[in-house]
Chains A and B, each alone.
Chain A
Amino acid sequence: MKLAISSSGTTLDDAVDPRFGRAMNFLVFDTDSGDLQVIENRQNLNAPQGAGIQSGQLVAGTGAKAVITGNCGPKAFQVLGAAGIKVFVKVEGTVRQAIADWKAGKLTAADGANVEGHWM
């Protein structure tokens, strides 16, 4: 299955981006094939509003079934929930470590947004 991890970089050794809505990139990792795809999220960095919604839409379009990130706001959470995507928050460190922790079952799925939305 595919995991989407927010990141400020483009490789597995780059850090997890603490932001979901305004993450620089999403690294989509296929746990079956080991393939890594880099999806740029630049267009949402300065979105006047609804960045979380757009990022959620972007990730849903990749076929990812889970998101790993630092903070996820309420609108993003709604979108991901509607798309049936699990969200793992408060994850720090490298993307590689995050994937390993997810595989080892160390991450817990969030049941709601962990931060307030930014306006908007």
Chain B
Amino acid sequence: MIISIASGKGGTGKTTVATNLAAVAGIAVYADCDVEEPNGHIFLQPDIEKRVTVNSLVPRVDHDRCNGCGACGEACRFNALAVLPKGVMVFDELCHSCGGCLLACPEQAIREEPRPIGEIEIGSAGVLPFIHGRLSVGEAMSPPLIRAVLEQLPTDGTPAILDAPPGTSCPAVATVQGSDACLMVTEPTPFGLHDLKLAVDMVRALGVPFGVVLNRDGAGDDRVDEWCREEGIPILARIPDSRPLAEAYSRGRLAVWELPELAGLFQDLWHSALSLVGSVVEVKRCAN
């Protein structure tokens, strides 16, 4: 059972929601899939037990076997290979590790080598199992590392809470696709509403049941509320616009520890999230 926490806009409170849900959920696993800027560890303070380097695979050509036919270059849709008179040049940073060049080579002159793109850390925060990925600075593509994090999820039915990256393109998609329900975190402002619509289009396209969490409720206007009502999208929780909450966040402190009165809100949200699983998703486009 996988519950992803996403948003279109950055900074709406995904990590706040994901980490606090993980803290009150009872039996669950927390996985930080925002591998470019993982923050969950700040709040959950896990003990890291295992650190694994994650590699992508890049082709290396054995020039003794290479006959210069150029089939590898032709096969590569990412233009990562330049077939020159003196040999084949590989541009690792463009390679998507699809294996097409190996398959195309008639001389079997290409083998693959691992190239590190980041690491995964696995541990626990008390009784809560914790996983996160950290993309190496300078690496462009996060989905391969996100997939590596997802491979660590339990297969015994323990619910997993995924902290997704912001946005609506490949990193967010790699995290949310295949989850059983998604909580869309937003704020009651024009940017929040605009990006929520984009994110809802994404999650509908992926066929994942979802609900909205309205963070900083009261800080803006009621257009998000209105729109959710028009669309029939449930607002599963409203986190109040609260200076003490913002300050606790700024100190890297979990809301449910600093402000225990919020524990009930997150517990209810967890139950609502679990209830979303198995509901039907209507696939339609938002007016934008």
Contacts and interface: CB of A to CB of B under 8 A. Distances in A.
B242 interface: no
Interface residues on B, range: 10 to 19
Interface string B127-161: 00000000000001000000000000000000000
B82 A56 contact: yes
Given A57-B73, A57-B84, A51 B89 contact: no
Nearest to B83: A57
Contacts of B79: 47, 49-51, 53-54
Contacts of A36: none
B85 interface: yes
Contacts of B84: 57, 60, 79, 82-83
A54 B91 CA distance: 11
Contacts of B140: 119-120
Contact of B91 (A47, A48, A75): A75
Contacts of B93: 120
Given A49-B79, A83-B84, A78 B89 contact: yes
Interface string B70-95: 00010000111111111101010110
A47 B85 CA distance: 23
B139 to A, nearest CB: 13
B82 A79 contact: yes
A17 to B, nearest CB: 19
Contacts of B94: 49-50, 53, 120
A56 to B, nearest CB: 6
Given A47-B79, A50-B78, A51-B79, A60 B73 contact: no
Interface string A72-84: 0001001100111
Contacts of A53: 79-82, 89, 91, 94
Interface string A41-59: 0000001111101101100
A119 B94 CA distance: 10
A101 to B, nearest CB: 27
A79 B82 CA distance: 7
Interface in A80-120: 82-84, 119-120
Nearest to A21: B79
Contacts of A61: 85
Contacts of A57: 73, 82-84
Nearest to B87: A82
A82 B89 contact: yes
B86 to A, nearest CB: 7
Contacts of A56: 82
A54 to B, nearest CB: 5
B86 A83 contact: yes
Contacts of B78: 48-50
B80 A50 contact: yes
Given A54-B79, A82-B87, 16 more contacts: A47-B79, A50-B79, A50-B80, A50-B94, A53-B79, A53-B80, A53-B81, A53-B82, A53-B94, A57-B73, A60-B85, A75-B91, A78-B89, A82-B84, A82-B89, A120-B93
28 contacts: A47-B79, A49-B94, A50-B78, A50-B80, A50-B91, A50-B94, A51-B79, A53-B80, A53-B81, A53-B82, A53-B91, A56-B82, A57-B73, A57-B83, A57-B84, A60-B82, A60-B84, A60-B85, A61-B85, A75-B91, A78-B89, A79-B82, A79-B84, A82-B84, A82-B86, A82-B89, A119-B140, A120-B94
